[in-house]
Structure 1
Amino acid sequence: MARVLDVTSATAWTDLDEQIRRAVGWGAVERPEHPWLGPVGTGGSSGWRALLGRTATATTPDETRLALALCDPSGVIREAALAHAAGRPAVLPLVAVRATDWAAPVRDRARAVLADALPSADAATLAATAPVLLRIRGRLRGAEGAALLEERLRTAPAEVLTPLFLHRDRATRRLALRVAMERALFEPRELARIAAADPDQAVRSSAATAAVAADAPDETLGPLLGARTGPVRAAGVTALRRAGRHAEAEPFLHDRSGTVRACARWVLRQGGADPVALYRAACADPQTMPDRAPLGLAECGERAVDLPVLWALTGHPRPLARSSAVAGLRALDVADLTRLLPLLDDPAPGVVRETAKALAPWADRLPERELLDRTGPGRPPHVRIRALRLLRDNGSWTYAETARRLAEDPDPVLRYQVRRSLGLRT
């Protein structure tokens, strides 16, 4: 049966159950013979297309025949088949499906088989059964099977639980890792590594929390602070306070994540430093200034004091520094349209993007002719698309005509973006 089914896919098992019941119940195939079940199993001579390879005559059914019986439309056959499912780990996922059966006798017997099989299930059996139990837990009467699974994982040997950490089913991985963390099966360094590298956001968050709680900064702070995702870096920066290493938060004042920057400011204040003074010192020398320093300054500075600095930095030679300065102006709700509008002509798409965001709240006050001119063929694509969107927000009567024109523009990038925004085929 493993050659026919993807046994680690929950959907494969639930689809198999539905397809067999539909095919047999609607007469698309004749009901398979089940002589090993006695009179309730008799029927036609042929069976399920992909799984039936031979006529069943043995006293003990093979896994394929047993699977067919477990999915039969007849509750009598399903219940009788469960008597043969004990000690047959290959069909335990279908037993899990039967544990939510509408027929109470079937459901009760399936739960009994599950309760007997799960405590001794090996890693391979759990890898096939756990995704099904977690998929159907949202069904009526599905919570009990998931509870049995979690109980098994809480007592399973590490060698049984560990393979589930790499399971492709997200719910299975999350549960296995959560249980392992609660059981303290990971060293602090391993928790930090999981937090830094795992592809699943929920897993990263749980692991980061557990790593910080382990209170082993020498082992955990390096991976946490070097993580690619902002929430994990933020957890590491926050942990610097507990470790008494406040000064190490200073480089994170200029992090790409706003959450990380906010955490860095808090940690530095807890250590007696003034983040505003550090930002102002950084912005005082444009040559050595970190690119995101202007935005950080806007987030915690004073408008009257720091606004001139941000305007000056909109002319910085580095595009990221210019876009950061414009983002800072937006954070301060600057509405000087006369000075903002020319920034739409910046050669860097990032700067134009931030400028358009800053102008969007005031779009109805923008000169329509200046926006329309920026949609012309002599302008770069990133300027034309932002000008078009501002023209839309402006409520201009020329927007529809301009959008239709740009939807047929020779520039493939611009044409794609405009057609996608209009809901046209790209």
Structure 2
Amino acid sequence: MIRGRRDNDGRPPSGAGDGGLLGAVRVAVHEARDGRWEALNSLVEVLLKVDAVGDEVVARSALALVAGSPGLVVRLDWHARSAPWHGRYQQPAMRRASERFSGVSSGPVVTVLASMHGDGRIRERAVAAMVSRPCREVMPFLVLRTADWVKPVRDRARAGLAVLLADDPAICLSAVLPMALRLDARQRAAFAVTQVQAAVLAATEQVWRALLSEGGRRERWFVFDIVLAQGWLRVSDLVTFAESDPDVRLRTRAAQAACREAVWTRRLDVLQRLARSARAEVRVMALTGLVRAGKDADVVGYLNDDAPLVRAVARDAARRLGIDVREHYRSGVDTDRPASGAIAGLAEVGSAADARLLQRLLSHERARVRAQAVRSLRLLDAVVAGEMAALVRDPSPAVVREVTAALRPVAGALPPDLPWELLRDERTELRRAGYRLLRGRGVDVELRAALLLAVDANPRLAERGKADATRITRDMTRTTWRRSPRPELQVTEAEHAELLASTARAAAALGEEISQQLGLAGE
């Protein structure tokens, strides 16, 4: 059995030994997740300090912080065998950890560090120690060794993992599952995944339900697919998942299974309930089920739904009932309070002849209606540059985004100064709109706009301007052996002076190299 003092879920007490040392472990783990060799070595140094304290509760809490990131465990394992043999790291921390390891009597921290040693005999002894004195915090490191390249190490780890999963699945599964799935694509990793699958199949309902409610995204997918295939979930369970689960993949799978079962058993109440879901993917499944159940009349009521797929299913049902869908949408749009789904539906089935109904909505009091009207006119290819330009300073950012998308294909018909005025406006969405409208107007225009945006007060816009200015500059100054021709910067003397002034203002943001290249490119 897995040893150690635990809470009800098998974890060490959350507050036990949680002091400055564990705080240092947290910092080291955070830095090592994406850090280089030095960050990983610092993490091992901190773990060795934890081991020196001799408190098993603190040691297990430290290991839990590391094991919480399976990717970090894999990187730490790689790090143990990639230490440089020169400089100030000639005696890396991993080597000292293996020297401190003495077998079963060693603490859990130094044991897991020794399990990553380059010498297979040391790894095998460490695996034996982890199996002899198991705790949930070392389980991810044991899983890692089941894919070891040395057969004796691999066999001992596999035997130990199989026994531990059989003895105490309630504690082991949640600790083993994330690491097993992380190794799934690795060579020799199939054993761990197969053992976890067998443990889930043999687990009690309480255990697999806990995994479904507490696990990470990949773990929940894995467990859900197993229990769904086994038929362990009732329709009420599936409906609950479909209506409230935060994960879209799991929600869709649950809705699909619930609707299929409802069609087979003629549970129309389940289909009608899911058809009222706030999630579009759930509504689509439910309406498809109602269609299969022959309830086209119920499905037609969703012609004005906000989701395109839902509208498509409803239109298919309407055609079978002989309903003129286009006339339905025209009537829905020609009201004082048109539904946004009706506006979008008219764009999907209508033509440019319906543009008149949509144009009058451009001045509607509701921003959502205005935005949808602009989008629909764009889809119908019925954009009039003058009308849209008048909306570009709309109070709603959503309307501004739609107007910008609609104006880009006809940007040449706009007043020449309008995009530049927008680019200097106080509103962030207008500056973004102006920048988008200047795209595709030539290298000189794009470079001027990018240099202005590089010093924008909005960090995201400034980053975009810097990236574009860097790209344009490198394209202009790249070597001539490239196949594609270099863009030429054709500017007047006044425009050249303006570019140099803009470069000077943006020099701090662009960096010395790009600023110098811009100065040469402009000559």
Alignment TM class, shorter chain as reference: 0.7 to 0.9
Which sits farther off after the overlay, 82-91 or 23-32?
A: 23-32
Contact kept, 8 Å, 1:255 with 1:261, in 2: the verdict is: yes
Q: 2:92 is matched with which residue: 25, 28, 52? A: 28
Aligned residue identity for 1:219: V
For 2:344, the aligned partner's letter is: L
CA gap of 1:110–1:417, structure 2 versus 1, over 3 A, is closer
> What are the Cα deviations for residues 176-233 of structure 1, in whole angstroms up to 9, with x where unaligned?
1111111222221221221222222221221121121121342354245323x43223
- The answer (yes or no) to whether the contact 2:352–2:382 under 8 Å persists in 1 is no
Contact 2:307–2:341 (CA under 8 A) maintained in structure 1: no
Instruction: Report how far residue 108 of structure 1 moved.
Output: 2.5
Pairs within 5 Å for 1:236-275: 236-250=286-300, 252-275=302-325
Aligned to 2:364: 316
* CA pair 371-299 structure 1, distance change in 2 beyond 3 A: same
350, 355, 358: which one aligns with 1:301? 350
**Is the Cα–Cα contact under 8 Å of residues 326 and 350 in structure 2 kept in the other structure?**
yes
Higher RCO (C-alpha 8 Å, min separation 6): 1
Q: Tell me: CA distance 1:288–1:100, structure 2 relative to 1, closer, same or farther (3 Å).
A: same
Task: Give the superposition deviation at 1:331.
Answer: 1.1
Q: For 1:30 and 1:11, how far apart are their aligned partners in 2?
A: 18
Change beyond 3 A, Cα 1:250–1:420? farther
How many angstroms apart in 2 are the aligned matches of 1:127 and 1:67?
19
Matches within 5 A, 1:328-343: 328-343=376-391
The aligned residue for residue 223 of structure 2 is: 176
Whole-angstrom distance in 1 between the partners of 2:274 and 2:461: 42
Deviations 1:385-424 (A, max 9, x none): 3133212233384454355446556xx5xx4453132137
Aligned to 1:371, which of 419, 429, 437? 419
Which piece of structure 1 moves more, 191-200 or 397-406? 397-406
Q: Which residue matches 1:232? A: 282
Aligned mates of 2:409, 2:201 — CA distance in 1: 53
Matched with 1:205 is 252
What secondary structure is seen at the aligned counterpart in 1 of 2:243?
helix
Counterpart position of 1:77: 122
Cα deviation 1:19-38 (Å, max 9, x = unaligned): 666789963348679xxxxx
> Equivalent of 1:344, from 379, 384, 392?
392
- Residues 75 and 406 (structure 1 numbering): CA distance in 2 closer, same or farther, change over 3 Å? closer
The verdict on how the C-alpha distance between 1:162 and 1:417 changes in structure 2, with shifts beyond 3 A counting, is: closer
Deviation at 1:165, TM superposition (A): 0.8
- Normalised TM-score (structure 1): 0.81
Secondary structure of 1:3's aligned partner: helix
What is the aligned residue count? 399
Q: Flag the 1:389–1:9 CA change in 2: closer, same or farther, 3 A.
A: closer
Structure 1 residue 292 corresponds to structure 2 residue 341: yes
CA contact (8 A) 1:363 1:393 kept: no
Question: Is residue 145–residue 157 contact of structure 2 (8 Å, CA) maintained in 1?
Answer: yes
In structure 1, list runs of 5 or more residues that go unmatched: 34-42, 48-55
How far has the Cα of 1:130 moved from its partner? 0.9
Q: Secondary structure at the match of 2:284?
A: helix
1:106-185 equivalences in 2 (<5 Å): 106-185=153-232
Cα drift, residue 175 of structure 1: 0.6
How far apart, CA to CA, are the structure 2 residues paired with 1:189 and 1:261? 27
Partner Cα distance (2:162, 2:321) in 1: 54
Is residue 67 of structure 1 aligned with residue 125 of structure 2?
A: no
Distance change >3 Å, CA 294–CA 394, structure 1 → 2? farther
Tell me which residue corresponds to 2:332: 282
Provide the rounded CA distance (Å) in 1 between the counterparts of 2:63 and 2:302. Answer: 49
The answer to whether the Cα contact below 8 Å between 1:249 and 1:264 also exists between their aligned partners in 2 is yes
Coordinate RMSD, CA, aligned = 3.3
- % of aligned pairs identical? 31
Letter in 2 for 1:209: Q
User: CA deviation digits over 1:245-292, x for unaligned, max 9?
Assistant: 43443453333332232233233334543332321221122x232133
TM-score between the two structures when normalised by the length of structure 2: 0.67
Q: Which moved more, 1:60-69 or 1:149-158?
A: 60-69
Q: Which moved more, 1:63-72 or 1:202-211?
A: 63-72
Compared with structure 1, are the counterparts of its residues 187 and 388 closer, same or farther at alpha carbon in structure 2 (3 Å cutoff)?
A: same
Conserved in 1, the CA contact under 8 Å of 2:391 and 2:400? yes
The letter of the residue matching 2:327 is A
- Pick one of 405, 418, 441 that aligns with 1:357: 405
* Structure 1 Cα separation of the partners of residues 364 and 191 of structure 2: 62
Shift of 1:328: 0.7
Query: Which residue among 66, 70, 87 is the counterpart of 1:10?
Result: 70
